[in-house]
Structure 1
């Protein structure tokens, strides 16, 4: 019963938050700080409705000057509510073009200044990747990427895609791994306190002087660090 009530309340709140976020984005379209404000609006009240406690251990990321590339694990669609509160200033994300057509959320996502990639068109995808380099180098803006490319559904890290690492090397900016503990298996919305989630960022990984030949080793280093961190976070919560 509590689960159904929470989903109903969350659905109503999503519509309210979307209306507020649309006003924010319409007032200053494509501003790179829109994502932080919209993420907080979707996330912070929703976490209370869901009975979730999120512990942010992101001080290192917040102290890091822009620009940088955030590489995060992607568990499910709940990430909107779980991770929205952790978006730092002047940070946009990389998403597939089809997100633009999701009612309410898609239009806000686009107006918030996030970068949309058409994965089915190699030329347009390449142009979008070039745009991210320009955004980071000349607009004091960081990029958030789910390097797995899809939801892992709480089954551990999937293989990483190259895009985030190629962007970081081309722009010469550091990578900040962001790890969210496994809530997909532990969250129980039928309990009054439905779970505790930890979001932890690791020290920046410098890419200065790297070339694309260094990318496989960089990807493996980042993934190994994140996998170890996630195991530690999950063990702490158990």
Structure 2
């Protein structure tokens, strides 16, 4: 039954992506930026509803009020595909995501993503990619947007650890804006490389803003990793 429900959800995900991403790809460029972001957020919200309807998988979020409308860096745990749609839906609309550039080549999804102006990087480029995150990230922050980054760089299974990249912390050091850490246990229900989505309630916790003004990236990164991983130990 879990497999069947998961397959039905997969069909709904494909359909909603074709419809909403297709719409955004076609008309997004002539819409005001905030309206494009609202369509992108609607895609995330619709898929959260479908996930609850088909798979019985909901979520509970704590501390969402700590996220400002703009001008902050969000550093979030990365365990599954769930957070890529959930954070899109739950956070304020004007978001600039740091993502791998290969996603921009995916038909419909990538075309739609381009309309909301993400920071698409070549993860193999090393220091060049880090400079891109800093330079473009500062521009996006000045445009009053949230910059959303997964510091682990890839999905990490529950109970496992991966080094946190410095890109987000370097952007915080250079810009002086606060960092909002987010922890969640989505990987316990939506596992990497597994089509099955297990019923339950995903717990999401938003932490207090971590100051960055006058601080070094390594110190900021250490605080972010410490808060996220300590919180993960409580909600896994």
Shorter-chain TM-score bucket reads 0.7 to 0.9
Deviates more, 1:103-112 or 1:172-181: 103-112
Give runs of aligned pairs for residues 169-208 of structure 1, distance below 5 A: 169-181=173-185, 183-185=186-188, 194-208=199-213
1:10 counterpart residue number? 9
Q: Which residue of 2 is the match for residue 105 of structure 1?
A: 109
CA distance in 2, matches of 1:47, 1:81: 13
| Alpha-carbon contact 2:45-2:86 (below 8 Å) kept | no
1:92 counterpart residue number: 96
Q: Is the 8 A contact 2:76 2:149 kept in 1?
A: yes
**Which residue matches 2:58?**
53
Report the Cα distance in structure 1 between the residues aligned to 2:213 and 2:111, rounded to whole angstroms. 36
Give yes or no for contact 1:94–1:115 (8 Å, CA) kept in 2.
yes
* Aligned mates of 2:196, 2:136 — CA distance in 1: 44
Q: Residues 10 and 73 (structure 1 numbering): CA distance in 2 closer, same or farther, change over 3 Å?
A: same
Change over 3 Å in CA distance of 1:77–1:65 after alignment to 2: closer
Indicate which of 68, 71, 79 corresponds to 2:72: 68
Tell me the TM-score normalised to structure 1 length.
Answer: 0.83
Structure 1 residue 136: Cα displacement: 0.4
Question: 1:186/1:100 Cα in 2 relative to 1: closer, same or farther (>3 Å)?
Answer: closer
Could you state the TM-score of these two structures normalised by the residue count of structure 2? Answer: 0.83
SS of 1:223's partner is helix
For residues 109-167 of structure 1, what are the alpha-carbon distances to aligned partners after superposition, in whole Å with 9 as ceiling and x for unaligned? 22332220122345852245311111102x11011100001110223442100111111
Instruction: Name the count of aligned residue pairs.
Output: 226
CA–CA distance in 2 between the matches of 1:128 and 1:222?
A: 18
Identify if the C-alpha distance between structure 1 residues 49 and 76 changes in structure 2 by more than 3 Å, giving closer, same or farther. same
Contact 1:69 1:174 in 2 (8 A): yes
Structure 1 counterpart of 2:146, from 142, 147, 165: 142
> For the Cα contact (< 8 Å) 1:47–1:81, is it kept in 2?
no
> 2:138 aligns to what?
133
Unaligned runs of 5+ in 1: none
Secondary structure of 1:16's match?
helix
